[in-house]
């Protein structure tokens, strides 16, 4: 087999090159128009000073980065719990046995209620309410109960995603497993769940990115994480640039993750032999 490109391959490569050039030119034109036209608006100078002040940016950035570390920590310890709880809820929801009906009912109520209540309300209810029942100082820590709130709220959403993934696994997989004599828990563990998880990578990544931002809600009950720090800086400097700086830090975290998910998805598609135009 030689490496010489076929006529088809050369044609497609030329077409891809042309579309890349067109994309570059149109992007440059649009961005160039924005950069030239926006500063010509009458209020631009005030907006620039209020939102894009270089000095305020430089002064507040180190503090924001430090506060962001708290967000990352909350994210890191919440995510495993969210995955575990949502898997349990999804499995509970899928049980067919009549003896386990209370479990299924609980799972339905769990997802309905916790998806319906805004996370802000939950943060106050659980973050202030539970410790006020009389817990000791270590157990009252708002980081604990803020994380519990995030886990409860997000596991309700991800449970539904996992359930959708489980449902998306073709029925013939279960039929094949049954004909091999596997029990339903073996089927679930070794056949259904692995395939289900591969299918739900995009919506799970979506949820994960959303969680990275909702972590900021923990600031409502006290801890100074990046959004609260930006609020303190805004009050100190009477300037909104700290929020712009915080947004950049968030993007620095979320964009690599979404690109990673895209890459994993593309690799998986290539492996299963799907034919797509690049």
Partner 1 sequence: MRRFPALRRIIPAIAVGALVLAACGSDDDSGDAADDTGAPAGTEAPADPTESSGAGDCGATIDDGVLTIATGEPAFYPWVIDDAPETGEGFEAAVALAVAAEMGYEGDAVVWTRTTFDEAIQPGAKSFDMNLQQYSITEERAENIDFSLPYFTSNQAIVALEGSAAEGATTIADLKDVKFGAQVGTTSLAFITDVIQPTQDPFVYDDNVGAKAALEANQIDAAVFDLPTALFVSGVEIEGSAVIGQFPADAGGTTDQFGFVLEKDSALTSCVDAAITTLTDNGELEAITQEWLSDFTGAPVISVE
In whole angstroms, the minimum distance from the beta carbon of 131 to partner 1 comes to 4
Q: x/- string (CB under 8 A) for partner 1, residues 41-60?
A: -xx-xx-xxx-x-x------
Closer to partner 1 by Cβ: residue 13 or 189? 13
Nearer to partner 1, 40 or 274 (CB): 40
The correct pick among 232, 244, 249, 253 for binding partner 1 (CB under 8 A) is 232
The 131-170 site mask, x for binding partner 1 (CB under 8 A), equals xx-xxxx--xxx----------------------------
Q: Is 37 in the site for partner 1 (CB under 8 A)?
A: no
Binding part of the chain for partner 1, among 75-83, 90-98, 126-134, 185-193 by CB under 8 A, reads: 126-134
- Residue 196 CB, nearest approach to partner 1 (Å): 31
**224 touches partner 1 by CB under 8 A:** yes
Q: Is the CB of 140 or the CB of 184 nearer to partner 1?
A: 140
| Cβ-Cβ contacts under 8 Å for 33 (sequence gap 6 or more) | none
CB of 238 vs partner 1, minimal distance in Å: 5
Q: Which residues bind partner 1 (CB under 8 A)?
A: 13, 16-17, 20, 23-24, 27-28, 31-32, 35, 39, 42-43, 45-46, 48-50, 52, 54, 124, 127-129, 131-132, 134-137, 140-142, 219-224, 228, 231-232, 234-238, 278
């Amino acid at each position: 087999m030689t490496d010489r490109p076929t006529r088809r391959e050369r044609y497609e490569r030329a077409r891809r090159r042309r579309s890349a050039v067109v994309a570059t030119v149109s992007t440059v034109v649009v961005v160039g128009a924005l950069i030239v036209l926006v500063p010509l608006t009458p209020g631009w100078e005030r907006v620039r000073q209020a939102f894009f002040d270089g000095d305020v940016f430089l002064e507040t950035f180190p503090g924001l980065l430090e506060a962001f570390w708290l967000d990352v920590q909350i994210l890191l310890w919440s995510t495993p719990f969210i995955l575990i709880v949502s898997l349990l809820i999804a499995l509970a929801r899928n049980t067919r046995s009549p003896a386990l009906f209370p479990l299924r009912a609980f799972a339905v109520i769990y997802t309905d209620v916790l998806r319906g209540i805004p996370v802000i309300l939950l943060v106050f209810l659980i973050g202030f309410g539970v410790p006020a029942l009389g817990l000791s100082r270590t157990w009252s820590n708002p980081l604990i109960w803020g994380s519990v709130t995030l886990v409860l709220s997000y596991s309700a959403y991800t449970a539904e995603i996992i359930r959708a993934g489980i449902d998306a696994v073709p029925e013939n997989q279960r039929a094949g497993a049954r004909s091999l004599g596997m029990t339903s828990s073996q089927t679930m563990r070794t056949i259904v769940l692995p395939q289900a998880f591969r299918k739900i990578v995009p919506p799970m990544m979506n949820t994960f990115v959303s969680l990275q931002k909702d972590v900021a809600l923990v600031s409502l009950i006290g801890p100074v994480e990046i959004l609260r720090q930006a609020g303190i800086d805004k009050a100190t400097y009477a300037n909104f640039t700290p929020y712009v700086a915080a947004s950049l830090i968030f993007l620095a975290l979320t964009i690599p993750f979404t690109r990673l998910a895209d890459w994993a998805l593309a690799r998986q598609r290539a492996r299963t032999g799907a034919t797509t135009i690049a």
